[in-house]
Structure 1
Amino acid sequence: MLLKFQNHIISRFPFLSGKKLFLAVSGGLDSMVLLHLLEQLPYEIAVLHCNFQLRGLESFEDQKFIQEYCLHNNIQVFITQFDTEAFARDYKLSTQVAARELRYSWFYELLEEKNFDYILTAHHADDNLETFIINLTRGTGLDGLTGIPEQNDKIIRPLLPFSREEILKYAEENTIKWREDSSNASNKYLRNKIRHDLVPVLKEINPNFLNAFEKTQSYLQESKEMVEDASIMVYQQVAKEAGEDIHFDLNQLKKLPNYKSYLYQWLNEFGFSAWNDIYDLVEGQSGKQVLSEEFRLLKNRETLILSPVSEISEKEEFQIHENETEVNFPLNLKLCQVDDITIDSNRTIFVDAEKIRFPLILRRWNEGDVFQPFGMNGKSKKVSKLFKDEKLSLIEKEKTWILTSDNQIVWIVGIRQDERFRIKNTTNKILKIELQ
């Protein structure tokens, strides 16, 4: 197994040569075998161990076992303890999810703090099969069926080609000691039920089931890569990126016989889960929307617009004081006095400085806002009517800022200036305001 493991490392992870590697070691069979294998190869390693305090004295005995092993073998070790149950309670997570979040958060903190390069975990072929079955029972796309990735950012799983049987045989041949986790014997967790009850039946039906499963996953991975390539090509035809927003052309999208699959592929990473609602948007009324935790998908005429949910409150206001020449938040504005005006645009206005009362207020628009559009000889108009005339989407409306002086609109920023502050022949001081 050592030679097979060494060849696998060299073949799949040649970039590990000369790098500093953390090994996540629980003290169980799999991680102790991984540690033993790496000790015999020319890599600089250190051990990470998390005590989740979930099994009383047994958790602390695992910790002691790791400490003594590393001390005896002159291996650098880092250990932390978590109150996992309290964390799970506070954040309303399952115990397993809480442990995972605590573990990987600490791993990445240490990577940066100790200047290490990668973290190796001891997931193996049987773990991969169990994860596949768990995902299958819950309903999943290709991502769930391709199993545990051999590399995910800085996390590397070099034991994935090896079965639990191979790992056990290696441990027995090399008299490796390990700790048994008593919770692994219980069928309380879904993974244990699959491990104890279902997987043995599959292996009884086909003794080479793991090899067959590995081939299937290889085919699924190839299919996934093909889907991703097609998704990228179609995305370039259908989508247009505008700043933080993405606009999907529904006329182009609906020409595709399987557009729902493409929408899933494009939107899955943005945290959406109400897929039927998203698919209904394609034929739904303009103005309807679907939300994830951080993003929104809006139907606007013949376009779907994906945008981040704004973190700025609609009621939040920002002051611009008389001595300020530059504003960097929430917009980038420059203010300066000039002697004469150049050609103005939607992004630049020139106003009579003597009519301005500081502080100016930068805020979101309100439903009842009224202004006097530049060039309309003092006639009033609702801002909402201007938006309708300009055919702005809901997202564009929500992103619009209003600049006011003494509660009067000076500028619908980037769209239209107010007539009341325009430059006249009698103007003595000109203030230029520019949107960067």
Structure 2
Amino acid sequence: MQRTRLLVACSGGVDSVVLAHLCVRTGLNVTLAHCNFHLRGSESNEDERFVRNLAKELGVKVKVKSFKTKKYARQNRGSVQMAARELRYDWFNKLLETKGFDFLLTAHHADDGLETFLINLSRGTGIDGLSGIPVQNGKVIRPLLEFSQKDIWNYAKRNKIPWREDASNADTKYLRNKVRLEIVPKLMELHPAFLENFKRTQLHLKETNSLVQNHIKEIKSILFAEDGDVIKIALEPLKELHPIEAYLYGLFKEYGFTEWDDVKGLLSAMSGKEVISKTHRLLKDREYLILSEHKESANESYAVFDKEGLLQSPIKLKLENVKTAERSGRDTIFLDKKKLNFPLVLRNWQKGDYFYPYGMKGGKKLSKFFKDEKVDVFSKEKQWLLCSNDEIVWVVGRRADERFKVDGSTQNILKITFVA
């Protein structure tokens, strides 16, 4: 059986170097991964050289990646620290996906957890932000979270393990350094066991958060109903939840929403109002909220030729030449071929479209038809129309057009079935 392959993030600092030593000492199959961000001139290159030599000393492989970090930060209009984080984890994830590594190990420790707690507290956060850094998040594992930085330093000194010092760690213009160097020492003065007490408190927060998540999961199972590729949430039972702000956050945070006043506003908004996140859309539609993935509309069209058989894309349509016709329905229509111009075209609906609904006299705007049929916005956007030239032959799966129906003079009949 192949041993688990582990990627160890190694900067050259004491925490990651100790983690690398511990992994090798316990016989794990590891490869070191080092990022050279080129932010400290020759010092950055010395860090890289140190990690390469460390890998040789430990008898393990090493992967190194250089980044133009400042250029990336300028292009993305972000801080250098955020740029370095994004570049680092993008590369780590790529290695996990393409090089067969099972997990990524990072050297976060208990002091990191305290610093993150204080930073999140200063910015304003919920229980998620106070519950701490998880030991495992997907393929990322943090084995040293139970240990303090003092524990790690003591281990390195006892075992005479060398490491690199990053001078930028002493620069208090960075928020995390300010918290580490100025705020945490003051807190430690309050109680000699402050860090241990904090760890216990954060454990209680994690347990409470677990209870909250279980409750939210139960509420979702009751309120969230899958309907094709969307989720429908009945409004009335949703409005009965209190405190509603907390429930909305718990129910919808995983879908990328951040404007919580706007989300709450949907509960009393007119139909058609929506809130959009980077990944999802939340729409008010009469008595429901409808949740859907946020995708750009393609506005593509597809040709349908006068050929018997099964059309596979973008939807399945079965075409048959038949001798007799029945009444056209939602999923099957019968057409007079002489009235059609081939190739027919499949396309999405557009504003201004109109047709002559089968069985009715006169035309009707498609928008009015959708409203009468109580078709929601998401379904309208995905609605396919079968057209002859610019005229609608069929609102697929809903209604045929009267103009192309079979009559007493019809000689050739085309049957089209929508295969859902």
Match of 1:215 in 2: 200
Counterpart of 2:340 (choices 343, 353, 356) is 356
Q: Distance in 1 between matches of 2:245 and 2:413?
A: 55
Aligned to 1:48: 33
Aligned-residue sequence identity (percent) comes to 47
The yes-or-no answer on 1:152 pairing with 2:157 is: no
Match runs of 1:191-340 below 5 Å: 191-313=176-298, 315-323=299-307, 325-340=309-324
Counterpart CA distance in 2 for 1:327 and 1:201 is 71
Q: How has the CA–CA distance of structure 1 residues 218 and 367 changed in structure 2, closer, same or farther, with 3 Å as cutoff?
A: same
- Structure 1 Cα separation of the partners of residues 181 and 157 of structure 2: 21
Show structure 2 runs of 5+ residues with no match: none
Residue 10 (structure 1) aligns with: none
> Shift in Å at residue 323 of structure 1?
4.6
Q: AA paired with 1:406?
A: N
Aligned pair partner of 1:400 in 359, 383, 399: 383
Is the 2:307–2:319 Cα contact (8 Å) retained in structure 1?
no
After superposition, the Cα gap between the structure-2 partners of 1:417 and 1:135, relative to the gap in structure 1 and judged at 3 Å, is same
Q: Does 1:136 align with 2:121?
A: yes
Partners of 2:127 and 2:417 lie apart in 1 by 49
Cross-structure match for 2:392 = 409
Tell me the CA shift for residue 102 of structure 1: 1.7
Distance, in Å, in 2 between the alignment partners of 1:321 and 1:183 is 67
- Tell me the alpha carbon deviations over residues 249-299 of structure 1, each in whole angstroms, 9 at most, x when there is no partner: 111112222233222112111111110111111122222211112321111
1:11-50 correspondence to structure 2 within 5 Å: 18-50=3-35
* TM-score normalized by the length of structure 1: 0.91
Please list every run of 5 or more consecutive structure 1 residues that lacks an aligned counterpart in the other structure. 1-16
Asked whether the 8 Å contact 2:328–2:400 carries over to 1, the reply is no
Where 2:268 maps in the other structure, the secondary structure is coil
Q: Which amino acid aligns with 1:61?
A: E
Query: Cα offset for 1:111?
Result: 2.3
Aligned length: 418
In the alignment, which of 367, 371, 378 is matched to residue 384 of structure 1? 367
TM-score, normalising length from structure 2? 0.94
**CA gap 1:90/1:335 in 2 versus in 1, 3 angstroms:** farther
Q: Which residue of 2 aligns with 1:429?
A: 412
Matched position secondary structure for 2:169: helix
Of 64, 71, 88 in structure 1, the residue corresponding to residue 73 of structure 2 is 88
Deviates more, 1:400-409 or 1:82-91: 82-91
Is the Cα contact below 8 Å between 1:336 and 1:432 reproduced in 2? yes
Partners of 2:327 and 2:333 within 8 A in 1: no
1:126 lines up with 2:105 in the alignment: no
Q: Is the 8 A contact 1:237 1:252 kept in 2?
A: no
CA RMSD of aligned residues (A): 1.9
Q: 1:336 to 1:129 in 2, by over 3 A?
A: farther
Runs of 4 or more, structure 1, over 6 Å off, are: none
Please tell me the residue identity of whatever aligns with 1:59.
Answer: S
Q: What is the Cα deviation at residue 426 of structure 1? A: 3.4
CA distance in 2, matches of 1:331, 1:91: 39
Q: 1:302 to 1:190 in 2, by over 3 A?
A: same
Post-superposition offset of 1:328: 4.1
Q: What are the superposed Cα offsets for residues 160-209 of structure 1, whole Å, 9 maximum, x if unpaired?
A: 00001111111111111000111101012111110011111111111211
**Superposed CA offset, 1:335-354 (max 9, x none):** 33334446754122222223
Match of 2:55 among 70, 90, 99: 70
Q: Cα distance 1:339–1:95, how it changes in 2: closer, same or farther (>3 A)?
A: farther
List per-residue Cα deviations over 1:394-417 (Å, max 9, x = no partner): 333222222210111101122110
Q: Kindly tell me: are residues 50 and 338 of structure 1, through their superposed partners in 2, closer, same or farther at Cα, counting changes over 3 Å?
A: farther
C-alpha separation between the residues in 2 aligned to 1:201 and 1:327? 71
State the one-letter code of the partner of 1:335.
Answer: L
Q: 1:366 aligns with which of 322, 347, 350?
A: 350
2:331 to 347, 352, 362: 347
1:324 Cα offset (Å) = 8.0
1:342-373 Cα distance to aligned partner (Å, 9 max, x none): 67541222222232212222223233222111
Secondary structure of 2:181's counterpart equals helix
Indicate the larger mover: 332-341 or 285-294: 332-341
Give the counterpart of 1:104 among 89, 99, 110.
89
> Given that residues 24 and 120 in structure 1 are in contact (C-alpha distance below 8 angstroms), is that contact kept between their aligned partners in structure 2?
yes
Q: Distance in 1 between matches of 2:148 and 2:104?
A: 21
The question of whether the paired residues in 2 share the 8 Å contact of 1:318 and 1:363 is answered with yes
The Cα offsets for residues 125-157 of structure 1, whole Å up to 9 and x where unpaired, read as 001111111111122222211111110111100
3-state secondary structure, aligned to 1:111: helix
